[in-house]
Structure 1
Amino acid sequence: MIDRPRLAPGRGRRLAAALFACLLAGCAPAPEPQRAKPAMWLVEDDDTRLYLLGTMHALPAATDWDEGAVGKAIAAADELILELSPEQLAAAGAEFQRLAPRNTPLPIDQRLPATALAAYRTLEASGAGQSFGGDALDDWAVMVVMGQRVAQNARLLPSNGVETGLTARFTEAGKPIAGLETAHQQLMLFETLDAATQRALLTRAAAGAGKAVADVDALTAAWSRGDEKALEAMINDDVDAVPAARAAIITERNRRWSLWAKQRMAKPGTVLVAVGAGHLVGADGLPALLTAQGLKVTRVQ
């Protein structure tokens, strides 16, 4: 197990409001435009190269992330692999509308303790102040709409996100783009969590809502400088507190993706694999899993 620095008490609760809620719309605010050097690894053998790039799905304007080794990987790659293909990402909204509603409404004030409820209401009143409609939604779906509000408050633009930029570059070059999952599969990761786990995640997210923007700002700063240990600490501090969520959202997906990567290594070519940065760090991150399978893995940025 890689040693990692511990965060101050409470940081995990604050991160939850953004990290879990932004599976599809990744929250990543920064205090000002900056040049980023996100971490990237290369998995290679005699005739195959897989670049593993950690992404943020939404970014502030004027964040430059596609220079240096990343720019070279984009130019060299024959194809792009994302968590969701562009077609599946476009389908995610409708899939959310289908899966998110509860069978029977349950008031939010019956789900959250007083302190968490107060923070939830403050976030709901922020920005344009539009109601979350949480009474009618499953706990996991309430987290998603909370995360959307955090993103709005932080002035995040998915159009500046890494996946959007990569999709434009590969489409313009006529190179194929595919996904590791469907929108249905991705949202079902939350939908199928047991009730106690969903409630624990929602409570943590609500309790930390007031600090979500600041904490995700720290997450983005770590991503921008390619700080693997800091990313691991921030992400693990949150998900370790809810083991069932960690297993479903990170560990099991990473294992599936590592099997896909090992199989892809049997076919010649150069591939850029771009997934959320949290999937590439720690003992159960993709680089570590592929190394354990005997593949040659090198950090190249």
Structure 2
Amino acid sequence: MRIDSIWARLTGAFALILAWCFQAAPALAQDEAGRANAVTAPAATASAPRPAIWLLSRGDTKIYLFGTVHILPPELQWRSAALDRVIGEADELVLEIAADEMEQPDPAALQAMMLGKTAPLEWRVSPNRRAALRAMVADSGLQPLMLDQMQTWAATMTLSVAQLVAGHAEDGSIEEAMANMSGAEDALTAAFRERGKPISGVETVGEQMSFFGSMSFTAQREMLEEMVDAHASGAGAAFDPNESGWVSGDVESIAEEMRAMNPDLYDALLTRRNAAWTDWLIARLERPGTVLFAVGAGHLAGEHSVQAMLEARGFTVARID
């Protein structure tokens, strides 16, 4: 299982955490046009991009569901004509976390990542994995002491993001690579701000952190060990959204990856959050308007997807692209 691609599809805090660890927030707060151009620059692809879009509607309310990836290489061309039409039609954008909060998160929420003490990260894996973990930390560019002071889930996520970004760092500079990468949310935020349309979030940073914190220590340790094993086996090469099925709209490939998750992680990151978002979407149908609801692609794939939960409650969700 690719831990980095799981994070990239499921949590908006993914990019935020590495920016905080490297103190790279100023670099990430680049101008809106720069962000939009960075993630839509031409790239060689086998066919035109068609990331999946669905429609939930009732009466004079339309809600488009779009699955995002939270960190993308700058050269990737992923926006489709259908998505651009939806952007033009929608009255508002709803993300996992509102853009303003992502740019200026509550420091207290970020402190939820910390242990409140120092406990060497290598003590949290089996002895036979410790050398591999030390090598992974050394390659990451992160400070070992910082990781030792983090919750296990937070250290795992931070190393995963560093690994993903390092795969796209041509000159070996993770900080520079991070500054050059952005996610689908960045481009959508820029497009809606340019049009003067409102942007909000369905969760806060603090709420996302609480989902991670609810996982058992055993589940967090297993997650860390899975990441170390993947890195040691060479399975930690740069995550490629083209190969993963996201750009082409291959939702089943995404679903298969979600099914491989640790059960506790699956419940914390996917099932419980999807249930809450399903309630939010049903309530939003009571008000008129057209909404683009853009959340991690993993939430819109598989038998516990938002669409499946909506359909189980009697609503029809139609894929339009």
Instruction: Report the TM-score range of the alignment, normalised by the length of the smaller protein.
Output: 0.7 to 0.9
2:69 maps to which of 10, 34, 56:
56
Could you tell me how far 1:130 is from its partner in structure 2?
4.6
Which residue of structure 1 lines up, in the alignment, with residue 254 of structure 2? 231
> Is residue 2:188 matched to residue 1:166?
yes
Once the two structures are overlaid, the 10-residue window that deviates more, 78-87 or 53-62, is 53-62
Which residue of structure 2 lines up, in the alignment, with residue 207 of structure 1? 229
Matched residue SS, 2:302: coil
Question: What is the CA deviation profile of residues 106-154 of structure 1, one whole-angstrom value per residue up to 9, with x for unaligned ones?
Answer: 2223211244323322222225465363222210111122023113212
Question: What is the CA deviation profile of residues 200-253 of structure 1, one whole-angstrom value per residue up to 9, with x for unaligned ones?
Answer: 22222222234454373268531111111110001211x2xx322211110010
> Is residue 2:271 matched to residue 1:251?
yes
Matched residue count: 282
**1:81–1:271 Cα contact (<8 Å) kept:** yes
**1:119–1:208 Cα contact (<8 Å) kept:** no
Which residue of structure 2 lines up, in the alignment, with residue 16 of structure 1? 3
2:284 maps to which of 254, 264, 275:
264
Paired residues for 1:272-287 under 5 Å: 272-287=292-307
Q: For the structure 1 residues 116 and 208, does the alpha-carbon distance in structure 2 shift closer, same or farther, using more than 3 Å as the test?
A: farther
Q: For the structure 1 residues 129 and 142, does the alpha-carbon distance in structure 2 shift closer, same or farther, using more than 3 Å as the test?
A: closer
Q: For the structure 1 residues 17 and 53, does the alpha-carbon distance in structure 2 shift closer, same or farther, using more than 3 Å as the test?
A: closer
More relative contact order, 1 or 2 (CA 8 Å, 6+ apart): 1
Q: For the structure 1 residues 82 and 97, does the alpha-carbon distance in structure 2 shift closer, same or farther, using more than 3 Å as the test?
A: closer
Aligned-partner Cα distance in 2 for 1:140–1:221:
24
Which residue of structure 2 lines up, in the alignment, with residue 4 of structure 1? none
Which residue of structure 2 lines up, in the alignment, with residue 65 of structure 1? 78
Aligned-partner Cα distance in 1 for 2:264–2:125:
20
TM-score of the two chains, using structure 1 as the length reference: 0.84
Q: For the structure 1 residues 58 and 283, does the alpha-carbon distance in structure 2 shift closer, same or farther, using more than 3 Å as the test?
A: same
1:144 maps to which of 151, 157, 160:
157
Could you tell me how far 1:20 is from its partner in structure 2?
4.0
Aligned-partner Cα distance in 1 for 2:44–2:229:
29
Q: CA RMSD in A?
A: 2.6
Aligned-partner Cα distance in 2 for 1:260–1:97:
25
Could you tell me how far 1:19 is from its partner in structure 2?
2.2
Q: For the structure 1 residues 62 and 198, does the alpha-carbon distance in structure 2 shift closer, same or farther, using more than 3 Å as the test?
A: same
Once the two structures are overlaid, the 10-residue window that deviates more, 132-141 or 44-53, is 132-141
Matched residue SS, 1:64: coil
Aligned-partner Cα distance in 1 for 2:137–2:91:
44
Aligned-partner Cα distance in 2 for 1:152–1:214:
10
Question: What is the CA deviation profile of residues 1-28 of structure 1, one whole-angstrom value per residue up to 9, with x for unaligned ones?
Answer: xxxxxxxxxxx2xx12552487323699
Aligned-partner Cα distance in 2 for 1:93–1:20:
21
**2:202–2:277 Cα contact (<8 Å) kept:** yes
Could you tell me how far 1:198 is from its partner in structure 2?
1.6
TM-score of the two chains, using structure 2 as the length reference: 0.79
Matched residue SS, 2:72: coil
Which residue of structure 1 lines up, in the alignment, with residue 123 of structure 2? 110
Sequence identity percentage: 30
Structure 2, unmatched stretches of 5+, are 19-38, 169-176
**2:90–2:292 Cα contact (<8 Å) kept:** yes
Letter aligned with residue 229 of structure 1: E
1:25 maps to which of 14, 28, 39:
14
Letter aligned with residue 160 of structure 2: G
**1:49–1:270 Cα contact (<8 Å) kept:** yes
Matched residue SS, 1:126: helix
Aligned-partner Cα distance in 1 for 2:245–2:289:
31
2:311 maps to which of 288, 291, 295:
291
Matched residue SS, 2:317: strand
> Is residue 2:219 matched to residue 1:187?
no
Could you tell me how far 1:68 is from its partner in structure 2?
1.8
Q: For the structure 1 residues 95 and 60, does the alpha-carbon distance in structure 2 shift closer, same or farther, using more than 3 Å as the test?
A: farther
